[in-house]
Structures are given as structure tokens and as C-alpha cells.
Amino acid sequence: MTGVSVLGSTGSIGRSTLDVIRRHPDRYRVVALAANRDVEGMLAQCREFRPRLAAMADEDSAARLESALRQEGLKIEVAAGGKGLAEVAAHVEAEQVMAAIVGAAGLPPTLAAVRAGKRILLANKEALVVAGALFMEEVRRAGVEVLPIDSEHNAIFQCMPPRQDGTLRERGVSRILLTASGGPFRTLPREALEQVTPEQACAHPNWDMGRKISVDSATLMNKGLEVIEAHWLFGARPDEIQVVVHPQSVIHSLVQYLDGSVLAQLGNPDMRTPIAHALAWPDRIESGVAPLDLFEVARLDFEVPDTDRFPCLALAFRAIEAGGTMPAVLNAANEVAVNAFLERRIGFLQIPRLVEAVMDRMVVEEAGNLESLMETDRRARELARQWVAEVA
């Protein structure tokens, strides 16, 4: 039986992971869970899965959870803060770690899991966006497997050749085609984007995601972050990655080979498919996702992304071309911008303006270590908050 730790267990990916595990009680055991503040959600998960350890990033929430578990007679150890998240990530009984904490906060515990020699199921794209070179060097040093959970990167992983060393061309690949749904505003005129609300931005047409990721999908920043992620995961140069808008979200991504072949991975838009694939790899297990009905789908459409209406995608390409600390700057500024939009302090079109303003003011530095990257993250957030304060 395989022991699994879940970082971000009460979020969308975490809940989907536990749903897949629930279907295979003879194969997987939940040994540790971590969340931010959702005490009720964590308590329910502790009742069902009885982990050895439960951690809350928020210390007050950890105290409340510990009290609730004691009242119910559940003997589950409780940990708090960053130290607690790292303990979940490195738990001795966990062989696999689902890294699903959203944002830069997920980077330290994910690195802790790598250093502890765990198989990483990577749903936290910021680990690669903020610290791609550092993260991949730690992966190489520890000799661990990293299996991507983002539907697009999981699709690419499934379509790539078995050989993993060398450049894309040396592996017979000419480019990666990264699909994007286009989000809820794909056909909305630019002038109408000035008035869109957080509720509209979070109403994704195909996927059930958290609020932050839903807004990123609406701005196409999510796809930009995925470009950076693909660069590190697959050793692809920016010019070897093409974003393709595919409104149906049935083809999750494609790999184009030098011989003219194009391999695609298709399926219904449900995150349990890539989660089940990664949990069981190289085996296949039932995920709970309905099989794809091609007759119901009927058609597949493809469009060029509009970076005039959605400049966040172009900003992401700019960040990866600049290299060094610039992707971390992009990510930090975007997190502040999205939060300000969700709080109705700035408008939708001000998100890319804020990100670009912060990028323009930050000097690219070498991404030397985690401490320097976290300092870059802090300074970028400070500049972003100043920008919000000035325009709000």
C-alpha cells in the first residue's frame, strides 16, 4: 500500500486527489494532510482518512483543529505553520506527495518533499515559476520523480518520448503545443473587459477551479505560468512552446515530432484524470471520470491567442526570456494583482498593468538560492501593493 501526503488537501486539487484515493482503499493510504485555514474541511478529512499528521499553515486554525480532534477522540498529531507543512511533505510514511498548495507559499514544503526523496505529484506550478532552476537541481540531486498534475503538462508528459535526456530535438520533438480554453472572456471585446466582475472571472466555462486560478485563466496568466513550467519540466526553449486556444478543453495538449507526427492526449475536463495517472504511473487506475464521447463533442476548434486583449501571456514569455529572478517577480506581482481584483480594489485590465509596472521596476538577478528568491518575491509584492494603493 502506498502512503500519500497531500499539501493543500482542502483545495480543489486536494479534494480531487482524495476522491481518487477513496476509490482505491486497497492501494493508497493517506498518511498526512496540510491546509491553510479551512478547519471544518480538514476536520472532515481527518474523520474519513485518519492521517497520522494534519497541519494548518495558520497557527490559530491549527489550535482550533487540535481542540476539535481532541473533543472527537481522534488521535491525530497536529502541526502548524511552515514547519508543519514541511513535516507533512517529508512524513516518513509518505512515498508520494501531492503538492497542491496554490502560490509561492507551496514552494518551501514542495522542496522539503524533494529533499526527503518523495515522488512529487506537482500541482503547484509556482515551484517551477519562482524557482525553476533551483527546484530542478534539487530534483536531480535527490534523484526523485516529478509527475506533473496540471492537465496540460500531464498530457505533454503522456505524449513525450520515453527518453528524457537531451534537448527536445535530440529526443525527436520539434515543439510542444500547450492548449488553453481561452477562459470566460475569450470572445468579449476589450472595452467590455473593463467592467467584468470577480464573479464573472471565476465562472470558468469548462473547469472547476479555485478563485485565484480561475482569474489567472481569465487573464491567460495561468497559461503564461504553464509556459514557464513546461520550459523547466521538459527542457523546452520558449520558442519551442506554442500556446493554442482550444475552447472545448478536450485536447489537453499536444507534442509535435520531427517526422511530422503530432500526438495529443484527450479526455473530459476533470482533474481526477491527471491525478489518477500520476498516482498510479506507470499503471492506470479508475479515476471516476466519465469516458470521452467524441460524438457528443462533435467538433474541435483552435485559435491563436489574442495577446492584445490578454497581455499577461506575453508578459510570461518576457519573464522566461529574461530569466533569473524575473519569473518570480511576475508571479509575485500577479498574486497581489489577482487578490486586489478579487477584493474589487482594481479592475480586470489593471491586473496586467500592475504586473508589467512591477516587472519594469525590478532588476533581473541570478536565482541563486531560496532565500534570495523569497527576498525577490517580498520586494515585488511590496511594489505591487504600492501600485494598488496608488490607483485604488
Based on the fold, state whether residues 254 and 330 are members of the same structural domain: yes
- What SS3 class is residue 151? helix
Q: Give the integer Cα–Cα distance in Å for 356 and 36.
A: 29
Q: Whole-model pTM? A: 0.91
Answer with the one of 124, 140, 175 that is the final residue of a domain.
124
Q: Give the integer Cα–Cα distance in Å for 99 and 385.
A: 27
List, for residues 145-194, the tens digit of each pLDDT value.
999 999 999 999 999 998 778 899 999 999 999 999 999 999 999 999 99
**Going by C-beta distance under 8 Å and a sequence separation of 6 or more, which residues neighbour residue 162?**
none
Domain span at residue 43 reads 2-124
The DSSP secondary structure of 241-270, one letter per residue, reads: EEEEE-TT--EEEEEEETTS-EEEEE--S-
**Which residue in the block uniquely carries the three cell numbers 518523495?**
118
- What SS3 class is residue 54? strand
- Asked if 277 and 158 count as a contact pair (C-beta separation under 8 A), the reply is yes
In whole numbers, what is the pLDDT of the chain averaged over residues? 94
List, for residues 270-298, the tens digit of each pLDDT value.
999 999 999 999 999 999 999 999 999 99
Within-domain flag for 276:
no
Based on the fold, state whether residues 260 and 332 are members of the same structural domain: yes
Based on the fold, state whether residues 263 and 165 are members of the same structural domain: yes
At 297 the pLDDT is: 93
- Asked if 119 and 94 count as a contact pair (C-beta separation under 8 A), the reply is no
CA distances from 132 to 86, 136, 155, 366 (A): 19, 6, 20, 12
Based on the fold, state whether residues 38 and 162 are members of the same structural domain: no
List, for residues 211-241, the tens digit of each pLDDT value.
888 999 999 999 999 999 999 999 999 999 9
**Which alpha helices (H) appear in 75-184, and where do they start and end?**
81-89, 107-115, 126-142, 151-159
Based on the fold, state whether residues 111 and 28 are members of the same structural domain: yes
**Category of 66 on φ-ψ map: left (φ > 0), alpha (ψ -120 to 50) or beta:** alpha
Count of the separate structural domains present in the chain? 2
Based on the fold, state whether residues 164 and 253 are members of the same structural domain: yes
* DSSP conformational letter for 303: B
At 205 the pLDDT is: 67
Q: Give the integer Cα–Cα distance in Å for 129 and 13.
A: 19
Q: Give the integer Cα–Cα distance in Å for 310 and 220.
A: 6
At 208 the pLDDT is: 61
Q: Which residues pair with 207 in a beta bridge?
A: none
Instruction: Give the DSSP H/E element, type plus range, for residue 371.
Output: helix 370-391
